[in-house]
Structure 1
């Protein structure tokens, strides 16, 4: 159990490190128009914007599914 948890954590850390290094390399070695195309105009907050987008999409999906379930169970009671 602890071995599995350790290796999962180690893999996660390696993945985060690799992505950070790859983004730094791309930022340092690409022309400005290409960087803006890849990362958008706000290059410093790509991770934050990604998390906000994921959270927004999750909430929209959750609300849609909740409305579907409420309708389904409300129809059963009638």
Structure 2
């Protein structure tokens, strides 16, 4: 009997340019859960990053979606200005 790894690699839902990464996961009861990984880098060498994780459920989903949408539009606008 070979036991295998049940882990699945996922891609982040959104990566913000200020250190926040949003992960969307399906929970055991088929509800969506949002994890937010917040990385704070103290210095240029990134030797001591400070990492925090936050869990959000269905009640906060609309607020998180609004945040991601507004940040995505802003990043797209900034990127298009840089290419000019």
Normalised to the residue count of structure 2, the TM-score between the two structures is 0.32
Q: 1 or 2, which has the higher helix percentage?
A: 1
Structure showing greater Rg:
1
